[in-house]
Amino acid sequence: MSKKWKIILIVLIGLFVLIQVFPVSKPESRADNPADLIASGNVDPEIANMLKTACYDCHSFETQYPWYSHLAPVKWLVIRDINEGRKDLNFSDWMLMDPMAQLEMLDEISTEVMSGEMPMKIYPLMHPEAKLSDADRQKLSDWTEAYAETLIQ
């Protein structure tokens, strides 16, 4: 390695170490959420499993942080996605939503899942188990419709 590259490498390592001490707090994570959608017991286990593996890290309080999410700059991106994801849709608070809001959200979920927008494209790269097949997407969409029917009655 030439001297120039050694200096560049040392500067990069120094910067990496430096950004680690930049104070940003991660959104809290907790397992016990009485108003949670799945905890309500009304969701078929297969659907519950898909929601847990493909959506819950960003759309619930049950976020599980992988080791690399503790390292800046990845940490900043993860924090942003979780904060924005929870703000739009938080399954941990689902039972506190009024039925009209639930209906609208079910429609949004179906749209996002069928269009391939959700889960965010980057997510299954790091969580292969969260990759949804076309059949999975169809099942989720069918579930939103069946659930919506129970709300309309």
- Site of interaction with ligand HEC (CB under 6 A): 54-55, 57-59, 81, 84-85, 88-89, 108-109, 112-113, 118-120, 123
Cβ 25 to ligand HEC shortest distance, Å: 18
Cβ 47 to ligand HEC shortest distance, Å: 10
Reading the block at residue 42, the tokens are 């009304």
- Closer to ligand HEC by CB, 39 or 89: give it: 89
Cα gap 58→45, rounded to integer Å: 20
Distances (CA, A) of 148 to 20, 101, 137, 144: 45, 11, 17, 6
Query: Which residues have CB under 8 Å from 44's CB, separation 6+?
Result: 143
- Closer to ligand HEC by CB, 44 or 84: give it: 84
- Closer to ligand HEC by CB, 85 or 147: give it: 85
- Closer to ligand HEC by CB, 39 or 109: give it: 109
Cβ 19 to ligand HEC shortest distance, Å: 21
Task: Report CA dihedral (127, 77, 79, 75) to the nearest 10 degrees.
Answer: 80
Q: Are 64 and 36 in contact (CB under 8 A)?
A: no
Cβ 137 to ligand HEC shortest distance, Å: 8
